[in-house]
Protein backbone atom coordinates (compact mmCIF):
# COMPACT_ATOMS: atom_id res chain seq x y z
CA UNK A 1 0.00 0.00 0.00
CA UNK A 2 1.32 3.42 -0.88
CA UNK A 3 1.89 6.10 1.71
CA UNK A 4 -0.79 8.20 0.06
CA UNK A 5 -3.44 5.45 0.41
CA UNK A 6 -2.49 4.93 4.05
CA UNK A 7 -2.73 8.67 4.75
CA UNK A 8 -6.15 8.76 3.07
CA UNK A 9 -7.33 5.86 5.25
CA UNK A 10 -6.10 7.64 8.36
CA UNK A 11 -7.80 10.85 7.24
CA UNK A 12 -11.07 9.02 6.58
CA UNK A 13 -10.96 7.35 10.00
CA UNK A 14 -10.26 10.71 11.61
CA UNK A 15 -13.04 12.41 9.62
CA UNK A 16 -15.46 9.65 10.61
CA UNK A 17 -14.50 10.02 14.29
CA UNK A 18 -14.79 13.81 14.14
CA UNK A 19 -18.26 13.54 12.58
CA UNK A 20 -19.38 11.01 15.18
CA UNK A 21 -18.13 13.18 18.06
CA UNK A 22 -19.63 16.38 16.63
CA UNK A 23 -22.95 14.67 15.97
CA UNK A 24 -23.10 13.30 19.51
CA UNK A 25 -22.46 16.75 20.94
CA UNK A 26 -25.03 18.46 18.71
CA UNK A 27 -27.70 15.80 19.16
CA UNK A 28 -27.26 16.25 22.92
CA UNK A 29 -27.32 20.06 22.75
CA UNK A 30 -30.10 20.53 20.19
CA UNK A 31 -31.80 17.19 19.72
CA UNK A 32 -32.11 15.19 16.52
CA UNK A 33 -34.67 17.38 14.77
CA UNK A 34 -32.86 20.70 15.31
CA UNK A 35 -29.45 19.40 14.26
CA UNK A 36 -28.54 19.68 10.58
CA UNK A 37 -25.88 17.81 8.68
CA UNK A 38 -24.34 21.16 7.81
CA UNK A 39 -24.03 21.96 11.54
CA UNK A 40 -22.41 18.58 12.17
CA UNK A 41 -19.90 19.05 9.35
CA UNK A 42 -19.08 22.56 10.55
CA UNK A 43 -18.56 21.40 14.15
CA UNK A 44 -16.42 18.48 12.97
CA UNK A 45 -14.40 20.70 10.65
CA UNK A 46 -15.04 18.44 7.65
CA UNK A 47 -17.30 18.47 4.61
CA UNK A 48 -20.87 17.59 5.64
CA UNK A 49 -21.15 15.47 2.46
CA UNK A 50 -18.91 12.94 4.21
CA UNK A 51 -21.86 12.04 6.45
CA UNK A 52 -23.51 10.33 3.49
CA UNK A 53 -20.25 8.62 2.53
CA UNK A 54 -19.39 7.24 5.97
CA UNK A 55 -22.80 6.76 7.54
CA UNK A 56 -25.43 6.91 4.80
CA UNK A 57 -27.24 9.96 6.18
CA UNK A 58 -28.23 11.86 9.29
CA UNK A 59 -30.44 9.07 10.66
CA UNK A 60 -27.69 6.47 10.31
CA UNK A 61 -25.22 8.87 11.94
CA UNK A 62 -27.68 9.28 14.82
CA UNK A 63 -27.88 5.50 15.16
CA UNK A 64 -24.08 5.34 15.17
CA UNK A 65 -23.96 7.89 18.01
CA UNK A 66 -26.39 5.78 20.03
CA UNK A 67 -24.21 2.74 19.46
CA UNK A 68 -21.05 4.65 20.38
CA UNK A 69 -22.64 5.79 23.66
CA UNK A 70 -23.52 2.22 24.55
CA UNK A 71 -20.01 0.86 24.71
CA UNK A 72 -19.33 -2.83 25.19
CA UNK A 73 -19.92 -3.31 28.90
CA UNK A 74 -23.02 -4.94 30.32
CA UNK A 75 -24.72 -2.21 32.30
CA UNK A 76 -25.79 -2.38 35.90
CA UNK A 77 -29.27 -1.13 36.70
CA UNK A 78 -29.99 2.37 38.01
CA UNK A 79 -30.38 1.08 41.55
CA UNK A 80 -26.68 0.24 41.55
CA UNK A 81 -25.25 3.28 43.36
CA UNK A 82 -22.21 3.57 41.06
CA UNK A 83 -24.36 3.42 37.91
CA UNK A 84 -26.81 6.00 39.26
CA UNK A 85 -23.94 8.34 40.09
CA UNK A 86 -22.43 7.89 36.59
CA UNK A 87 -25.76 8.73 34.95
CA UNK A 88 -26.21 11.88 37.07
CA UNK A 89 -22.62 13.02 36.53
CA UNK A 90 -22.89 12.46 32.79
CA UNK A 91 -26.13 14.42 32.65
CA UNK A 92 -24.42 17.28 34.48
CA UNK A 93 -21.52 17.24 32.01
CA UNK A 94 -23.36 16.59 28.76
CA UNK A 95 -26.99 17.41 29.35
CA UNK A 96 -29.91 15.30 28.28
CA UNK A 97 -28.23 12.72 26.02
CA UNK A 98 -30.24 11.34 23.10
CA UNK A 99 -31.59 8.26 24.85
CA UNK A 100 -32.95 10.44 27.64
CA UNK A 101 -34.31 13.07 25.23
CA UNK A 102 -36.56 10.52 23.58
CA UNK A 103 -38.33 9.99 26.91
CA UNK A 104 -39.42 13.62 26.78
CA UNK A 105 -40.23 14.15 23.11
CA UNK A 106 -40.67 12.00 20.01
CA UNK A 107 -38.15 12.48 17.22
CA UNK A 108 -39.31 13.60 13.78
CA UNK A 109 -37.62 10.63 12.10
CA UNK A 110 -39.44 7.35 12.92
CA UNK A 111 -36.32 5.19 12.49
CA UNK A 112 -34.24 7.39 14.80
CA UNK A 113 -37.11 7.58 17.30
CA UNK A 114 -37.54 3.81 17.38
CA UNK A 115 -33.79 3.26 17.81
CA UNK A 116 -33.54 5.80 20.63
CA UNK A 117 -36.52 4.25 22.43
CA UNK A 118 -35.03 0.78 22.01
CA UNK A 119 -31.73 2.05 23.44
CA UNK A 120 -33.54 3.68 26.38
CA UNK A 121 -35.27 0.42 27.19
CA UNK A 122 -32.23 -1.80 26.63
CA UNK A 123 -29.87 0.32 28.72
CA UNK A 124 -32.09 1.64 31.48
CA UNK A 125 -35.45 -0.13 31.71
CA UNK A 126 -34.44 -3.75 31.03
CA UNK A 127 -31.71 -4.02 33.68
CA UNK A 128 -34.21 -2.80 36.29
CA UNK A 129 -36.91 -5.08 34.90
CA UNK A 130 -34.57 -8.06 35.34
CA UNK A 131 -33.80 -6.97 38.91
CA UNK A 132 -37.44 -6.53 39.89
CA UNK A 133 -38.42 -9.83 38.25
CA UNK A 134 -35.65 -11.66 40.13
CA UNK A 135 -36.84 -10.05 43.36
CA UNK A 136 -40.37 -11.32 42.66
CA UNK A 137 -41.90 -7.86 42.75
CA UNK A 138 -45.30 -7.37 41.12
CA UNK A 139 -45.43 -5.37 37.87
CA UNK A 140 -41.66 -5.35 37.39
CA UNK A 141 -41.72 -3.54 34.02
CA UNK A 142 -43.92 -0.73 35.32
CA UNK A 143 -41.64 -0.35 38.34
CA UNK A 144 -38.61 -0.20 36.05
CA UNK A 145 -40.23 2.43 33.85
CA UNK A 146 -41.17 4.48 36.92
CA UNK A 147 -37.59 4.51 38.23
CA UNK A 148 -36.20 5.53 34.82
CA UNK A 149 -38.85 8.25 34.46
CA UNK A 150 -38.05 9.53 37.96
CA UNK A 151 -34.34 9.77 37.20
CA UNK A 152 -35.01 11.56 33.90
CA UNK A 153 -37.36 13.95 35.69
CA UNK A 154 -34.67 14.72 38.24
CA UNK A 155 -32.14 15.38 35.47
CA UNK A 156 -34.62 17.75 33.80
CA UNK A 157 -35.41 19.47 37.10
CA UNK A 158 -31.73 20.01 37.84
CA UNK A 159 -31.14 21.60 34.46
CA UNK A 160 -34.28 23.75 34.42
CA UNK A 161 -33.36 25.87 37.43
CA UNK A 162 -36.91 25.54 38.75
CA UNK A 163 -35.74 23.68 41.86
CA UNK A 164 -33.04 25.59 43.72
CA UNK A 165 -31.66 22.95 46.04
CA UNK A 166 -31.99 20.17 43.45
CA UNK A 167 -29.90 22.16 41.00
CA UNK A 168 -27.21 22.97 43.54
CA UNK A 169 -26.59 19.63 45.22
CA UNK A 170 -23.44 17.76 44.19
CA UNK A 171 -24.08 14.67 42.04
CA UNK A 172 -22.61 12.34 44.68
CA UNK A 173 -24.94 13.69 47.38
CA UNK A 174 -27.91 13.62 45.02
CA UNK A 175 -27.12 10.08 43.96
CA UNK A 176 -26.94 8.84 47.54
CA UNK A 177 -30.21 10.53 48.54
CA UNK A 178 -32.00 9.44 45.37
CA UNK A 179 -30.80 5.86 45.82
CA UNK A 180 -32.07 5.85 49.40
CA UNK A 181 -35.40 7.32 48.28
CA UNK A 182 -35.88 4.81 45.47
CA UNK A 183 -34.91 1.81 47.59
CA UNK A 184 -36.69 2.85 50.78
CA UNK A 185 -33.43 3.45 52.66
CA UNK A 186 -32.71 6.41 54.89
Residue 176 has pLDDT above 50, yes or no: yes
The percentage of residues in the chain with a pLDDT greater than 90, rounded to a whole number, is 53
Measured at the CA of 29, the angle between CA 26 and CA 31, to 5 degrees, comes to 75
Average pLDDT over every residue of 83-98 = 86
pLDDT tens, position by position, 33-48:
889 999 999 999 999 9
Q: Provide the pLDDT confidence category of residue 139 given band limits of 50, 70 and 90.
A: very high
Q: How far is CA 97 from CA 19, 68, 101, 133, in A?
A: 17, 12, 6, 28
Pairwise pLDDT comparison (135 vs 98), residue with the higher score: 135
Q: How far is CA 167 from CA 113, 154, 175, 176, in A?
A: 29, 9, 13, 15
Per CATH, which fold does 3-67 belong to?
Arc Repressor Mutant, subunit A (1.10.10)
Q: Are 148 and 103 in contact (CB under 8 A)?
A: yes
Q: Of the segments 9-23, 70-84, 127-141, 154-168, which one has the largest average pLDDT value?
A: 127-141
Residue 96 has pLDDT above 90, yes or no: no
pLDDT tens, position by position, 50-90:
999 998 888 889 888 878 776 545 578 999 999 999 889 98
Domain spans of the chain, in order of start = 3-67, 73-183
The alpha carbon dihedral of 43, 122, 70, 9 has a sign of: negative
pLDDT tens, position by position, 115-127:
889 989 998 999 9
Name the average pLDDT for the chain.
Answer: 87
Amino acid sequence: MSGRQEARRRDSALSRELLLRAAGELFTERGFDRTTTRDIGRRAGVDAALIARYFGGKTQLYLATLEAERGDAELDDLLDPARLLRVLERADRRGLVPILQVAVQRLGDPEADEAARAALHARLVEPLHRRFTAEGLPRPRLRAEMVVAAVIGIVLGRRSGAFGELGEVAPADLSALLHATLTGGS
